[in-house]
Amino acid sequence: MKNIIIIFVLLISIFASSQTKNDFYKSFSNSTRTAHIITFENDSIVTLQNVMSHMSGRIALSGIYHKVQDTIYISIPELDPKKMYHANKFGLAYLSGTKIKLIETKTELLDFENDAVYVRGKIYGSNRVRRKTITFINGKKYLVDGGLMDGYGIIKSEPKKNAKFMKAIEEMVKIPEEYSTKKYGLIEGYQKFGILAIKGVIDYRKKNNR
C-alpha cells in the first residue's frame, strides 16, 4: 500500500507540476509583436509584463496557468477598457484574452504556434547571449559580436571585430545579386544552432553553391 501511495504522488508531480516560483522568461520572436516577460508567481498565477528600459514605465497582466508533463497552458483574461488603454501604450494589447501553449525544454520554453522562444532571465542576461548572433555565408558559420548597450541605449562595450566575417561580407556586397538569402524560423534556428539563434539566423549562399 505504501508503495502505491509513493507512485501516486510521483505521478501527480510529473503530470501536474508547476514552475519554480518567480521563474521569469523573455520572449524572442521574428514577428512584429512586442516582446514581453513571463513570470511564474506561484503554482497557478503568471504575470506578463513589458520589457523595461530606462524611463519606460511598466504594465503587468495577470493570468493563470497549469502544467501537464512538459507543456504549460497559460490563459490571460480579456482586458477591461482601462487596462487595454495601457496595454496599447506598451504594445501588449494582443495578449488580451489570449491562450499560450508552451513546451518546456531543459532551459527554454517554446511557443510553436507563434514561433517564439522564451529564455530564462539568467540566460538571456548573460554577456554571451546579449553579444553574440549567428550568420552563415556560403555554409560557413560566423559568430558575430554586437557589443553591449545599457538601459539608456549607451554603448558599454564596443563590438569585437571579426576579420574573416568582414572579408566574407565585403565579397558578398560586391555581387549581392548572386546570393540567395534564407532566414530561419526562430524555433527552427534554436533547435538547429542553440541559444545564440534566438535573435535570428540568416544564411547567405552564392546561388551556384547550393
Q: Note the pLDDT tens digit of each residue in 124-180.
A: 888 888 889 999 999 999 999 888 876 667 777 888 888 999 999 999 999 999 999
Domain end position, chosen among 91, 124, 157: 124
Residue 203's pLDDT is 95
If one counts the domains in the chain, the total is 2
Tell me which residue range forms the domain holding 95. 2-124
Whichever domain contains 98, its CATH number is 2.40.128
Q: Tell me, yes or no, whether 161 and 69 share the same domain.
A: no
Domain end position, chosen among 124, 139, 160: 124
Q: Tell me, yes or no, whether 95 and 162 share the same domain.
A: no
Q: In whole angstroms, give the CA distance from residue 124 to residue 127.
A: 8
Domain end position, chosen among 90, 124, 158: 124
Residue 4's pLDDT is 44
Cell numbers at 112, concatenated: 510553436
Residue 11's pLDDT is 37
Residue 31's pLDDT is 86
Q: Tell me, yes or no, whether 11 and 101 share the same domain.
A: yes
Residues 6+ apart with CB under 8 A from 121: 24, 25, 26, 37
Helix, strand or coil for residue 208? helix
Residue 16's pLDDT is 39
Residue 22's pLDDT is 66
45: enclosing H helix or E strand: strand 45-50
Residue 151's pLDDT is 64
Q: Tell me, yes or no, whether 119 and 131 share the same domain.
A: no
Q: Tell me, yes or no, whether 83 and 169 share the same domain.
A: no
Residues of the chain with pLDDT under 70: 1-22, 54, 150-152, 209-210
pTM for this structure?
Answer: 0.81
Q: Tell me, yes or no, whether 59 and 114 share the same domain.
A: yes
Cell numbers at 8, concatenated: 501516486
Q: Among 79, 63, 71, 183, which residue's Cα sits nearest to residue 134?
A: 183
Q: Tell me the three-class secondary structure of 57-112, residue by residue.
A: CCCEEEEEEEEECCEEEEECCCCCHHHHHHHHHCCCHHHCCCEEEEEECCCEEEEC
Give Dmax (Cα) for the chain: 76
**The residue count for the chain:** 210
Q: In whole angstroms, give the CA distance from residue 170 to residue 164.
A: 10
Q: Tell me, yes or no, whether 102 and 13 share the same domain.
A: yes
Q: Tell me, yes or no, whether 142 and 112 share the same domain.
A: no
